[in-house]
Amino acid sequence: MKLSICPTPIGNLRDITLRVLDTLNEADVIAAEDSRHTRKLLTHYDIKTRLIRYDDHHSQAGLETVMDLLRSGKHVALVSDAGMPVISDPGIPLIRQCLEEGIEVDVLPGATAFVNALVLSGLAADSFTFYGFLPRKQSELRRKLAEIKPRKEVFIIYEAPHRIVKTLTELKALLGNRQVVLARELTKMHEEVLRMDIASLMEELTLHPRKGEMVLLVSGAPEEEISTTIEQELISLLELGMSKNDAIKAVAQSRHVAKREVYQVAMKLK
């Protein structure tokens, strides 16, 4: 009984390791985020292992089915649609349950989009933060960006093509016109990397909209900005229309200070 976490290609079908192919062949069952999607990969590599659906992002219903297979001694391979399961993909509840029950979990190395994007970007890669998909709701997004704003390291997000300009608009409003790198269609025929500031990228994407999968890397806070006072940060959030309470919470979170301290500054604002 073993759960093997198996990364699959993020575009180019040949980006799969020999060990992943062996594991997919040897496992009793493959649990896949989308079985129709994974079927294409299995057909390409002539793998005939039984396939079931497992997607804990949409429903927890499959968890017990997979756990029962593992408990009865079966070897289950977990795959998502692309790249490493768990990375903005299903898998965590299953891994936690296995760890809790003492079932072996094996993670096989392989493709993950943000690693390719980071290396290709040429940005400082010694320290970075990966957020996956940012919140969709504007108020939550703004709170998150206020928290991110003072951080010095590069941060990385995943974004859908139809939302990228909207997200860039929010990024520019809250973080200023930072340098960004957009890495698109990695490992595929139309792989493209755009390196510029947010305003120029917005202009480029408005003039020539891009489709396909994308990773966005955003440079960290410039030195002079890190010394912004609590007062200035509050004012800029209030000017963006954030409520006083939300702004206080966001500033306290981003600066790791007590809400009371920010509240006192907010009370003195006109």
Of the candidates 214, 237, 242, 250, which one interacts with ligand SAM according to CB under 6 A? 214
Q: Give the shortest CB-205-to-ligand SAM separation in angstroms.
A: 15
Handedness of CA 112, 113, 114, 117 (dihedral sign): positive
d(CA 6, CA 23): 8
- Residue 227 phi, psi (nearest 5): -85, 5
CA R_g for the chain? 22
112 is a site residue for ligand SAM (CB under 6 A): yes
Task: Name the strand (E) or helix (H) holding 157.
Answer: strand 154-159
Angle at 191 between CA 187 and CA 194, to 5 degrees: 130
**Under 8 Å between Cβ of 149 and 221:** yes
Q: Give the shortest CB-148-to-ligand SAM separation in angstroms.
A: 18
252 is a site residue for ligand SAM (CB under 6 A): no
Q: What is the per-residue DSSP string for 28-53? A: SEEEESSHHHHHHHHHHTT---EEEE
155 is a site residue for ligand SAM (CB under 6 A): no
185 is a site residue for ligand SAM (CB under 6 A): yes
Which position's Cβ is nearest ligand SAM?
83
83 is a site residue for ligand SAM (CB under 6 A): yes
Quote the DSSP letter at residue 138.
Answer: H
Q: Give the shortest CB-252-to-ligand SAM separation in angstroms.
A: 30
141 is a site residue for ligand SAM (CB under 6 A): no
Select the span of 46-54, 101-109, 110-118, 192-200 touching ligand SAM (CB under 6 A): 110-118
d(CA 143, CA 40): 40
Q: Give the shortest CB-194-to-ligand SAM separation in angstroms.
A: 12
Q: What would the two tokens of residue 5 be? A: 């976490």
Select the span of 58-66, 112-120, 137-145, 249-257 touching ligand SAM (CB under 6 A): 112-120
Please, which of residues 219-248 interact with ligand SAM by CB under 6 A?
none
Of the candidates 89, 121, 178, 237, which one interacts with ligand SAM according to CB under 6 A? 89
87 is a site residue for ligand SAM (CB under 6 A): yes
Quote the DSSP letter at residue 221.
Answer: -
Q: Which of 146, 157, 118 is nearest to 241 (CA)?
A: 146
- H helices of 194-243, in order, are 198-207, 223-226, 230-239
d(CA 220, CA 200): 18
Of the candidates 84, 198, 202, 218, which one interacts with ligand SAM according to CB under 6 A? 84
Of the candidates 3, 215, 221, 237, which one interacts with ligand SAM according to CB under 6 A? 215
Q: How many residues bind ligand SAM (CB under 6 A)?
A: 24
Considering the complex, state which of residue 91 and residue 150 has its C-beta at the smaller distance from ligand SAM: 91
Chain residues that interact with ligand SAM, rule: CB under 6 A: 10-11, 80, 82-84, 87-89, 112-114, 158-160, 183-188, 213-215
